[in-house]
Each structure stands twice: as structure tokens, then as C-alpha cells.
Amino acid sequence: MPKSPLRLTFATSDYEHVRDLSMGPIEAEGIELNCLTLQIEEMFYRFINFNEFDISEISSGKYTSLISQGDDRFVGLPIFPSRVHRQSSVYIRPDGPIKKAEDLAGKAVGLPEWGQSAAVYSRGWLAHDVGVALNDIRWMQAGVSQAGRKEKVALNLPAGLSLTPRPDKSLTELLLDGEIDAFLSAHPPELVEQGDPRIVRLYEDYQPIEEEYFKRTGIWPIMHLYAIRRPVFEANPWVAMSMVKALTEAKDRSMARMLDLTACRAPIAWAYDAAAKARALFGDDFYPYGIEPNRTTLEAFCLWGFEQGLFHRHLTPEEMFPKEVQSEFKV
């Protein structure tokens, strides 16, 4: 009798470039997936704290912090479902003192977690590109729109850096009350989503800034990756490559749809033009997976996370992923 496929739970956010796997028609070789589509913060909380899923999307910052501390309960895959430039992620009061990124020097700046992947790239940009030393900022940590959010990983902050947890207020409240001058956040505050004019992005027209940054540095921030619970991987190491192949095929099919001019594949006017522009900027594989096509970004990420005290040692990109997915056979 043929062997039954391995049944595994797979938690992911709802991505167009993952749906061909999470909803079909693609199947991962040898695996029967029970796919759960979850809100990002909930998924990360449940996976990191309770290991509820066999395979899950995870914050690249938190994952890399854990392995830098010798916590190897998760095995990462070089599959990056979410990547976003972060010059768009600085929020201010329009009547406040911050008019450009350089103005953050000497000010109080909030963030939802020091360990948030988006914050690693934002701080790296500030320190290495803008020229604002992180020790010259008074940092405060709090939830974006709700009070009580806490760090999820242990930190090893550099000497002289000031980071104060504020469980009593949200970043939104701290900004409106004048206790901070700006905050960094991947998730826009609820007031911005509601169109409240009291909080705005530092750079409203952020795309040209982010495009210029990528052209100059080659850095395209990676927010999330997928990881397998180590007991699942150790019992079935082949699962890693099966998932890499299936997720890559799903992404490739999605990119092909976006570049099909015959019909609009997304409910957005000029979706094809956006995809064609992305291809012109990033190359034919304009949403690349794997280590080598993303080496510049991964090396910057590993360095910045270590400099910022999130990673407890300076890792290489190869140390983030198992050897089983770092090469492929050639015919």
C-alpha cells in the first residue's frame, strides 16, 4: 500500500503568492497540510510561546534572535512571504518637532517591540544611512494602539542605549500626549487607518525614497520567514525542501499572474504596471527566495540585529537555515 502523506499544520497570513499552496492546487510533496490563515500578531504569539503549529510564518527578527541565543526549537526556511521597505513606517504629529529623519537625534522615539523585524531595518537605516546614533535617542516600548504589549525575546542591549518599557500607555497615546516625538511601527496605528489627522507618516510620499534606497544599497527588508518545529524537522528532514519547492512554485505562479496583461489578476487598476515596474527594479525574479539572491539584505540584517542587541552574536545568513535547503541538485 502507498504510504499516507504526513499530516502537518501550516499557519500563514493570507498572501496572494502563498494561496496556490494554502488553498490549492499546489501540494507539498509527501505532506497533507491543514492550513490556518491567521492574523499576524496572533500567529506569531501562538507559535513562539506555545509552538502550536508544525510549520508557521514567523518574525525574522524574533527567529534570528532565538537562534543567536542557542534556542533552536524552530528550523527556518529561506522563504520570505513578507518584505517591506520601512522609510514608510515612521509616524509623527504634524505639529511636532520632527520634519525629517535627522531630527530624531536627541528625541524620544517609540516602537512596539525592540525585537520587531521592521524596527531592526528602521534602526539600521537611521544609524547607517541617516547618521543618527541609536544611543542619541530615548527609546520607549509599548503597543501601537493598545497598552500592555511586551517584548517576546531576551535582549542584550549595547551599553549606553536607553530603552524604557511603557506598559501603561500605547504608542499612540504617548505620541499624542507629547511623551514621545515619533514612533516606528510595521502596523499603522488605528488613527492613521481611520484618517485621523493628528498622526501622519514622516514621509507621506515614501515610494521614491524607498526606491532610491534600494538602488543605492541593494537592501530590500525581509520581515517574515517560515519555520518548522524542530521535532518535526528532525523526524522528517525532507519536509524542509518539500515546503521550499511548494512555496516557491506558488510564488512563481503568482508573479506570472501579475504579469499577465490579458486580464487584470488583482482588483487594482494598473496592477500589471506595478508588477512590470517591480520587475524592472528588482529583476526577473522580482520577489526572490533563497539565501544568495538576498545575501546583501540578510547580511545587513544579521549585522544590524547584532549591533542593536537583538541578536546575541553576529550570525551569517547560512547559520539561519539548515543545510538541506541551502543547495539544490543539478541535472
For residue range 165-181, list pLDDT tens digits in order. Answer: 999 999 999 999 999 99
Say which residues have a Cβ less than 8 Å from residue 38's Cβ, sequence separation at least 6. Answer: 11, 12, 13, 46
| Grid coordinates given for 118 | 521592521
Q: Is the pLDDT of residue 330 over 70?
A: no
Q: Which long-range contacts (CB under 8 A, 24 or more apart) does 20-28 make?
A: 20/249, 20/250, 20/253, 20/254, 21/246, 21/247, 21/249, 21/250, 26/246, 26/249, 26/250, 26/253, 27/246, 28/239, 28/242, 28/243, 28/245, 28/246
Query: In terms of residues, how long is the chain?
Result: 331
Q: Return the CATH number of the domain spanning residue range 6-83+222-325.
A: 3.40.190.10
pLDDT-above-70 percentage for the chain: 98
Domain ranges of the chain: 6-83+222-325, 90-217
Encode 309-328: b = buried (16+ Cβ within 10 Å), e = exposed: bbbbeebebeebbbeebeee
90-217 CATH choice from 3.40.190.10, 1.10.390.10, 3.40.50.300, 3.30.1050.10: 3.40.190.10
Residue 114 has pLDDT above 90, yes or no: yes
pLDDT tens track for 239-298: 999 999 999 999 999 999 999 988 888 888 888 999 999 999 999 999 999 999 999 999
Which runs of consecutive H residues, i.e. helices, occur in the chain? Answer: 19-22, 40-50, 60-68, 117-125, 171-176, 190-193, 207-217, 230-235, 238-258, 271-282, 295-307
Mean per-residue pLDDT of the chain: 95
Amino acid at 254: S
pTM for the structure as a whole? 0.94
User: What pLDDT is stored for residue 331 in this prediction?
Assistant: 61
Longest CA span, the chain = 71
Q: What is the band of 1 on the pLDDT scale with cuts at 50, 70, 90?
A: very low
Q: Is the pLDDT of residue 80 over 80?
A: yes
Same CATH topology for 6-83+222-325 and 90-217? yes
Q: Which residues are CB-neighbours of 248 under 8 A, at least 6 positions away? A: 79, 289
